[in-house]
Amino acid sequence: MAEIDYGKLGLKVGLEIHQQLDTSTKLFCNCKPQLFKGEPEITFLRRLRPTQSELGQVDPAAYFEFQKGVKILYESSNMAACLVEMDEEPPHALNMEAVETALTAALMMNSKPVDEIHVMRKTVIDGSNTTGFQRTCVIALNGEVKVGEKTIPIQHLSLEEDAARKTGEEDNKARYRIDRLGIPLIEVATAPVITSPKEAEVAAYTIGRILRATGRVMRGLGTIRQDVNISISGGALIEIKGVQELETVNLVVENEVQRQLNLIEICEELKKKGVKEEELQEQFLEVTNVFRETKCKVIRKALEKKNVVMAVKLPKFRDVLKRELLPNLRLGTEMADRARFWGKVGGIFHTDEMPAYGVTEEEVNLLRKAVDAEESDAAVFVADSHENCRDALVAVVERAREAICGVPEETRAANPDGTSRYMRPRPGAARMYPETDIPPVQVSEELIARICSCLPESSEKKLERLMREFKLNLKLAGQVIDSEYGGLFDVLVRESGVSPTVVAAFLTETLKSLKREGVDVDAVRELQIRDVFRRVGSGELSKEALADVFVWLSRNEGKGVDEAVESLGLKAVSDGELRTLIDRVVAENSRLVEEKGEGSFGPLMGIVMRDLRGKVDAGKVSRLLKERLSKRG
């Protein structure tokens, strides 16, 4: 693929970075910010009703969901949520620990704290908030961060409550777990002035560094999430929500640009073919009879449930639906996403991908005939209830019409692989109104002065210090700062006396590769990490055993380091025991020792270490073995 000139494309990117805070309680209640596993202790069922926006209108997508009778099943546990998260008790006052952390981050970005904080309600009625709104407040305005030579304005820094997490969806019922609801989040919004994927990534890292410097952020997957706004000229402004890994930000931008370019190309082709919006009609035909004897499992299942198959013709769309926008993402996929959202169907079929999924050539021909499709037309069909089929096909036709115009404005959700999928139409103007249950908080000059007097070290200063004080090289020092565990570095080195390079390599490369291997790194608690390193420092454990102990701890949540050492057979070997072992090995290999003298060190070292690996530091074994060999006789 040729190098893309993003400047020429008019690329504009803005970032919204959300970081969970590791405060002692949630933002508006006294629950600990923690998640629960396993079965919920409490469940309850709710509906959310769209209310009018500040312009007096009701959000169409919200109203639609409501009319479909969507219900929300909430899951809770006494350890992770109280009546506040259930929306059964008014919120308590704003958590000042979170406010101070947000102010710290704001001041590090040169933002101006507001004089008085007002908590607002931002309407969100997909069920992710039990109240139907997210509580959020601006803490500071007009900051900036330096990305290389460029200054990127920070429009605002806010503090908001995290939403409940979705755990499933079935038959018009969305399932959410409310443990995450109410965990404090800092939101940092940049101006849309970023002009390349790389710059977006660096900006995200820079902001991430500042947030981590506060020392009060959560770590682990999902604790930092980015929303990325992307537009190119001739395209549209697309918001991609929920990018979980900082390192995928550039890929997300690259992919979205590619998707928009392909959509623009498709639009030009369709125009060339002379397709008109009015040719795309909402004429839906029931074609259940075509599939009476079908081998297609999906359709057969639907028919067993007394559902129907309905189809629509898309004139002149043949071969357009299979056009790839990104690997594994076709225009047909985009239609399917829309159909799923609006029609609550499992998916759609289209003639560009036929015959497939057990649908035969003959069935396709019958279907084409039924909808009166000509050679150059495509047809889309779907199997579900009559109402859902209709809603799904309306959405398909709508998406086809949009394809003639180019890129439709929409909100998309990030996939883990850097692509994205349709989430919902772009919401109208910010739907915010005051949270009257929470009194405003005055930000006094004294408070600002106190926070300013003990601002954490900036990442530039820390980088320099790590290199100077601990002799780390530039790359390793940078990795420590970007690591979620970077804050632990100083403590570990000071507490354990283990070499800084070993600590740094473990916190960055080792943890990263363990993560890649699927080890649940987040399951190991900070106190355990410190314990393990202290034992390495005291010689009780060898540094070779670090990774094994760590993996064991991650798989045995709730158990301690002692149990890990015991279970892995890493119980320390005393000097006496070591000497006895060496004596035994020397005796067993007396011929070798006689023949080679001190030259037998290498092979003997190998034998001793084979028995001891991980339990004793190799240096000590070597010293004692050499001692023994020199004293032989």
**Contact residues: another protein, CB under 8 A:** 44-58, 63, 71, 83, 86-90, 112, 114-118, 120-123, 125, 130-133, 136-138, 141, 155-156, 158, 429-434, 436, 439-440, 442
Nearer to another protein, 139 or 616 (CB): 139
Nearer to another protein, 168 or 434 (CB): 434
Closest separation in Å from C-beta 128 to Zn ion: 16
Contact by Cβ (8 Å): 226, 243: yes
Closest separation in Å from C-beta 16 to another protein: 12
Give the three-state DSSP class for 255. Answer: helix
Nearer to another protein, 36 or 66 (CB): 66
Interacting partner of 29 out of another protein, Zn ion, none (Cβ under 5 to 8 A depending on kind): Zn ion
Residues 133, 164: Cα–Cα separation, whole Å: 11
Closest separation in Å from C-beta 472 to another protein: 41
Closest separation in Å from C-beta 569 to another protein: 48
Nearer to another protein, 131 or 459 (CB): 131
What tokens appear for 505 in the block? 């390599």
Nearer to another protein, 114 or 336 (CB): 114
Interacting partner of 131 out of another protein, Zn ion, none (Cβ under 5 to 8 A depending on kind): another protein
Nearer to Zn ion, 82 or 502 (CB): 82
Nearer to Zn ion, 85 or 484 (CB): 85
Q: Is the peptide bond before 416 cis (omega within 30 degrees of 0)?
A: no
Nearer to another protein, 2 or 55 (CB): 55
Contact by Cβ (8 Å): 149, 175: no
DSSP 275-329: --GGGS---EEE-GGGGTT---HHHHHHHHTT-EEEEEEETT-TTTTT-EEETTE
* CB atoms near residue 630 (< 10 Å): 11
Interacting partner of 51 out of another protein, Zn ion, none (Cβ under 5 to 8 A depending on kind): another protein
Closest separation in Å from C-beta 190 to another protein: 13
Nearer to Zn ion, 31 or 503 (CB): 31
Q: Tokens 């409940």 label which residue?
A: 164
* CB atoms near residue 100 (< 10 Å): 17
Closest separation in Å from C-beta 48 to another protein: 4
Interacting partner of 31 out of Zn ion, another protein, none (Cβ under 5 to 8 A depending on kind): Zn ion
Residues 447, 439: Cα–Cα separation, whole Å: 18
Interacting partner of 56 out of another protein, Zn ion, none (Cβ under 5 to 8 A depending on kind): another protein
Closest separation in Å from C-beta 114 to another protein: 4
- 368 CA to centre of own chain: 42
Nearer to another protein, 39 or 445 (CB): 445
Contact by Cβ (8 Å): 163, 181: yes
Residues 89, 435: Cα–Cα separation, whole Å: 14
Interacting partner of 86 out of another protein, Zn ion, none (Cβ under 5 to 8 A depending on kind): another protein
Interacting partner of 137 out of Zn ion, another protein, none (Cβ under 5 to 8 A depending on kind): another protein
Interacting partner of 434 out of Zn ion, another protein, none (Cβ under 5 to 8 A depending on kind): another protein
DSSP 71-93: EEEEEE-TTT--TTTTTSS---S
Nearer to another protein, 117 or 309 (CB): 117
Residues 182, 25: Cα–Cα separation, whole Å: 9
Closest separation in Å from C-beta 222 to Zn ion: 19
The CA angle 153-154-155, to the nearest 5 degrees, is 105
Residues 100, 451: Cα–Cα separation, whole Å: 8
Contact by Cβ (8 Å): 582, 600: no
Nearer to another protein, 256 or 435 (CB): 435
Closest separation in Å from C-beta 80 to Zn ion: 8
Residues 492, 511: Cα–Cα separation, whole Å: 15
Closest separation in Å from C-beta 51 to another protein: 6
Closest separation in Å from C-beta 178 to Zn ion: 9
Residues β-bridged to residue 351: none
Amino acid in the structure at residue 180: R
Nearer to another protein, 54 or 268 (CB): 54
Interacting partner of 45 out of Zn ion, another protein, none (Cβ under 5 to 8 A depending on kind): another protein
Interacting partner of 271 out of another protein, Zn ion, none (Cβ under 5 to 8 A depending on kind): none
* CB atoms near residue 442 (< 10 Å): 10
Closest separation in Å from C-beta 112 to another protein: 6
- Which residue in 155, 215, 264 sits closest to 457, CA to CA? 215
Nearer to another protein, 130 or 415 (CB): 130
Amino acid in the structure at residue 481: I
Closest separation in Å from C-beta 246 to another protein: 25
Interacting partner of 130 out of Zn ion, another protein, none (Cβ under 5 to 8 A depending on kind): another protein
Contact by Cβ (8 Å): 312, 371: yes
Q: Which residues of the chain form contacts with Zn ion (CB under 5 A)?
A: 29, 31, 82, 84-85
Nearer to another protein, 83 or 474 (CB): 83
Closest separation in Å from C-beta 427 to another protein: 11
Closest separation in Å from C-beta 321 to another protein: 35
User: Which residues does 398 contact at the CB level (< 8 Å), separation at least 6?
Assistant: 338
Residues 18, 23: Cα–Cα separation, whole Å: 15
Interacting partner of 117 out of another protein, Zn ion, none (Cβ under 5 to 8 A depending on kind): another protein
Residues 586, 582: Cα–Cα separation, whole Å: 6
Interacting partner of 449 out of another protein, Zn ion, none (Cβ under 5 to 8 A depending on kind): none
Contact by Cβ (8 Å): 144, 110: yes
Check residue 516 and report its DSSP letter. Answer: H
- Beta strands in 538-632, from DSSP E residues, in sequence order: none
Residues 144, 430: Cα–Cα separation, whole Å: 23
Contact by Cβ (8 Å): 181, 161: yes
DSSP 146-179: EETTEEEEEEEEEEEEPPPEEEEEETTEEEEETT
Interacting partner of 83 out of Zn ion, another protein, none (Cβ under 5 to 8 A depending on kind): another protein
Interacting partner of 431 out of another protein, Zn ion, none (Cβ under 5 to 8 A depending on kind): another protein
Distances, alpha carbon 336 to alpha carbons 52, 321, 332, 344, 353, in Å: 30, 11, 6, 10, 13
